[in-house]
Amino acid sequence: MKKLTSTLAVALFFASIHSYAQIQVSGKVEDSQGRLPQAKVLTNDNKTFVLTDNQGNFNITVPEGYTSIIITYEGYADKTINIDASANPKIADLGVIVLENREKVKSIEGVTITSAYKPSQARALNIKKNSETISDVLASDAIGKLPDRNAAEAIQRLPAVTIERDMGEGRFAAVRGTPIQWSSSTLNGNRMPSASGDNANRGLQMDIFPSELIQYVKLSKTLTPDMDGDAIGGTIDFITKTAVNKETFSVNVAGGYVNQSQSPSYNASVVYGNKITDKLKFITSAVIWNRDTGIDNFQMVYDFNNKDKTKSFAINQLQLRDYIAERRTLGFNGALDYQINKNNKLYFKGLYSQYLDQQTVRESYFNFNTKNVQLQARHADYITDLYSFDVGGEHKLSDKLKLDWSLVNSKSSFEFNSPKNLSKDERGYPIVLFRQDMTYGNLSSDGLKYLAMDSPDGVGDTSDVVLPHNLNNLDASKLYLYQNIISRNKNSERDYRAQFNFNYKLNDNINLKAGGKLINKDKTFTSSVYAWMPSKLLGIPAAAPLVYLNQLQTEDFPYNGGFLNPLGNPYNNVLINQITNGQIDQMYNPDFMANHTMTNVQGANTASNLASSYSGKENVYSAYLMGNFRLTEKFTVIGGFRNEYNVTNFKGNRVVQQGNTATAEPVQKENKYNAFLPMVNMKYNLDDNTIFRASYTRSFARPDFSDLNPGLQINDALQTITEGNAGLKPTYANSFDLMFEKYFSNLGIISVGSFYKRLSNIIYQDQTTEQRNGLTYLKTSPSNLEGGWLFGLEANFSKRFTELPGILQHFGLEGNYTFVDSKTEIPVYQNGVALEKIETTLPKQAKHIFNVSIFYETDKFMIRLAGNYKGKYLNAIRSLAGPEHYQWFDKNFTLDTTASYALSKKIRLFVELNNLLNEPNRFYHAEQSRTESVSYTGFRGQMGVSFNF
């Protein structure tokens, strides 16, 4: 510490004695495609350098007597710029500096190799190389190299990133094996609000965000104090397109085919930007992606809460599910820059995106424990909206002091919007159930259904294909209407943000920064489930006769080439015609309800509905102080701290169920906590292309909104208590990182690193018992564990084989591998009492992750084959049942490809194919041989043309 203090003192001393003989040189660095962030600007003695900001701007102090500067950028030839300080001997503005000569690498045969796709890799590697943190970058045109239609699918190519899919499309992203909500997804540096159908966590549903709106993505795996601190895994920052200095116009049009739904798809986008005046410039973009997708799925529900160990492996239910979804993603982005004068600029950024998911689901449930079969038909429009408006300014207050500020208003909302024949407030997710008594065969001696491996007498099915072995046919004349259900769900999150940053450049070696941010979040969640049953089933006098499936409008089962075709279509003999969506909608009309005497059995005042809705506010007051110290020509340290003071206030209902009566009392809870977060990042350049990095950062993860619901529900019939916990503590992590990076001269890299996170206050679902009126109730509530740890290793490689002869010089290879291990202790319960603690990994943490991409590129033609592997991971902890019944996600490998051909500099043809291997998503029950769920989504592809003018 004393040595560091002495070094800083010496730096400050020399800064003061040389301040009288300096020239302030400024400018902006661009190429033919726009601004170049993180370009290195050096004095001609190579002793002093600065980096351009995200807009390509720089300001460097040059000792008097020096007549030029040098600009370097990965993949571009160095450029020397002469300094003319004749007008003002202390100030020189170089204006816009354009790097036009891209690097050209000659093979042994002397053939010059060029590529239309190198600029994207050059930008990404340059930003990564010059970053002061451990990070990875994906540029917009690199995203276009792979068939990635949304933000999640784009970033899965980065090291240590895994995604979760919905119907074959990427939805959520996780970094370094941490839970989804432990990573921060930001738009232009601000965390985005989240709203979704499952209201699961704070993670952004990324399939709402089209990849075409992205300029580039930066994944920061270590943090600096000027970044939000709630990012244990890392921060994924999506930078949207910004205003341009010259006219830009591009159009992409594509059509495709989705194998699973056997239907076409189309995609189109347009970008236009220009300068209105020398001071005012703009850019706009719009995108639409329309497709039908689908899933064939079977699931098994085990009786894992049965106290009898053998019977806990009995199969209570076999589910056959067919999903068809017509999906439409719309996106609009706009940016406006107004340069008031040389020292002051105002900007506006706006984004709107809508994700419409029109799902049709047909399900057959074979209930072995209750000796019946149930047909379930449902459909709904899922509508998710996201918008963000950002206004801000950048001001050069002096040669050394800069101020930037921004005000952000963003909102995400979700709702079900069916059936259309109901009023807006009555709409939701309609579900109709039909039931038929059934006799089953191939049962064990105890009369239960098992896999052969679990059966007491070896009678049962193999785990790959479990058949119902129904002894009676499913018959539309015997399938009676059992229940009408409508699930209503509306939730939203609105964020208001105000922030400012002061940047003080003491000299070219010391930069100080300080700022603050205020965040105000409003979260609302309104959920209810209404249900009706035929009065005849309830024994009500004068009830209308039961309604049977054959009396209603039906249509052929949606095979679409075969249900579970990869398994040999084993269920075709038990799939029958299904009710139409139009008929489902009509069953919620008042006339249908009255004519068939449907009785409401669950309404607005039932316990579950009263307790499930809540609202809350979260205010965060942040401040930070940091310094960037270039202690030597090779060694840089960024250190400082961030402090985030958090206040949450949530309102819910305390509900008690006594017999058929539920009573509710409003409950409100406030929680306050402070997060002090010291951070330090160190970077040592062994030479111009070799870097060693080390860091320590403290970060945290806030509790999910659903866990903060203070509502309490008591059910006397089931003897259960369910309660949220507004007093949950955030999860904290002390993270230590090491990284070694070696850059190749022809746009390549090899890097290896490790990371370790010491965790505290991990959140899990606690189960205890509570005595009420002499009875024992099982109580479930989120709580904090003491701690745990996570350790990982990373390796990354990218290489163009330009030194090879002939056609081989056009090939390249990119790959990355991540190993992650973790450990925490989870209580094991018996009858609601914790008996012991067992060690387990963190949920959803894959131990092995890798990406590999082989490509061939010339100046006109490109083809790329990309694979993504995610190892098995623990998906669900069933603490009451124990580790023998935990749910695991099986290993998964997907293969995608893309090809393109440039007809000219302005026109390009392309082809994209996803999931070539039709890799299933598979979950298993403790052991890989015990299947729990399998889903197939098929492959999809598209071809199109891109115009850039």
Does 194 share its domain with 127? yes
- Residues 130 and 207: their CA atoms lie apart, in Å, by 31
Q: Is residue 152 a part of any domain in this protein?
A: yes
In this structure, what token pair is assigned to residue 903? 């007809």
Q: Is residue 193 a part of any domain in this protein?
A: yes
Q: Is residue 398 a part of any domain in this protein?
A: yes
Structural domain of 94: 20-112
Does 289 share its domain with 166? no
- Residues 287 and 158: their CA atoms lie apart, in Å, by 24
Q: Is residue 724 a part of any domain in this protein?
A: no
3-state secondary structure of 187: strand
In this structure, what token pair is assigned to residue 463? 């785990």
The CATH number of the domain holding residue 48 is 2.60.40.10
- Residues 618 and 726: their CA atoms lie apart, in Å, by 11
Does 200 share its domain with 302? no
Does 269 share its domain with 396? yes
| Domain edge (last residue) among 220, 240, 260 | 240
Q: Find all residues with CB under 8 Å of 543, minimum gap 6, and list them.
A: 534, 535, 536, 597
**Alpha-carbon distances of 708 from 373, 621, 713, rounded to whole Å:** 38, 19, 14
In this structure, what token pair is assigned to residue 261? 């739904």
Does 76 share its domain with 129? no
Q: Is residue 731 a part of any domain in this protein?
A: no
- Residues 147 and 940: their CA atoms lie apart, in Å, by 10
User: How crowded is residue 805: how many other Cβ atoms within 10 Å of its Cβ?
Assistant: 11
**pLDDT at res. 530:** 92
Q: Are 665 and 653 in contact (CB under 8 A)?
A: yes
**pLDDT at res. 1:** 45
Q: Is residue 676 a part of any domain in this protein?
A: no
- Residues 571 and 573: their CA atoms lie apart, in Å, by 5
Q: Are 34 and 28 in contact (CB under 8 A)?
A: no
- Residues 194 and 173: their CA atoms lie apart, in Å, by 13
Does 442 share its domain with 572? yes
The b-or-e profile of 186-209 (16+ CB within 10 A means b, else e) is bbbbbbbbbbbbebebbbbbbbbb
3-state secondary structure of 123: helix
| Domain edge (last residue) among 240, 271, 288 | 240
**pLDDT at res. 142:** 56
Does 47 share its domain with 25? yes
Q: Is residue 540 a part of any domain in this protein?
A: yes
89: left (phi over 0), alpha (psi -120 to 50) or beta: alpha
The CATH number of the domain holding residue 172 is 2.170.130.10
Q: Are 943 and 256 in contact (CB under 8 A)?
A: yes
Does 260 share its domain with 339? yes
* Residue-by-residue DSSP string for 631-674: -SSSEEEEEEEEEEEEEEEEEEEEEEEETTEEEEEEEEEEEEEE
Among 259, 267, 374, 375, which Cα is nearest to 324's?
A: 259
Q: How many domains does the chain have?
A: 3
Strands 183-187, 234-240: pairing is parallel
Q: Are 463 and 930 in contact (CB under 8 A)?
A: yes
Among 1, 6, 8, which Cα is nearest to 627's?
A: 8
- Residues 900 and 882: their CA atoms lie apart, in Å, by 52
Does 218 share its domain with 260? no
- Residues 218 and 126: their CA atoms lie apart, in Å, by 12
Does 318 share its domain with 298? yes
Among 595, 588, 600, which Cα is nearest to 422's?
A: 588
- Residues 753 and 750: their CA atoms lie apart, in Å, by 11
Does 58 share its domain with 202? no
Residue located via tokens 């129904």: 470
Q: Is residue 728 a part of any domain in this protein?
A: no
Does 316 share its domain with 291? yes
| Domain edge (last residue) among 540, 569, 585 | 585
- Sheet strands side by side (includes 68-72): 49-51, 40-43, 68-72, 79-82
Please tell me what DSSP assigns to residue 701. Answer: E
Q: Give the pLDDT means over successive 10-residue stretches in the chain (949 positions).
A: 46 42 79 77 79 81 76 81 66 79 36 46 81 84 55 78 80 83 86 77 70 80 95 89 83 88 88 92 92 92 89 95 93 93 93 93 94 95 94 93 96 94 93 96 95 94 92 96 93 95 92 97 90 95 95 92 89 94 96 96 81 90 97 94 96 77 84 96 94 97 87 68 85 97 88 96 76 69 86 94 90 93 82 74 88 90 92 85 90 92 89 91 94 92 86
User: How crowded is residue 185: how many other Cβ atoms within 10 Å of its Cβ?
Assistant: 25
- Angle, CA 153 vertex, CA 151 and CA 154 arms, to 5°: 65
- Residues 899 and 720: their CA atoms lie apart, in Å, by 57
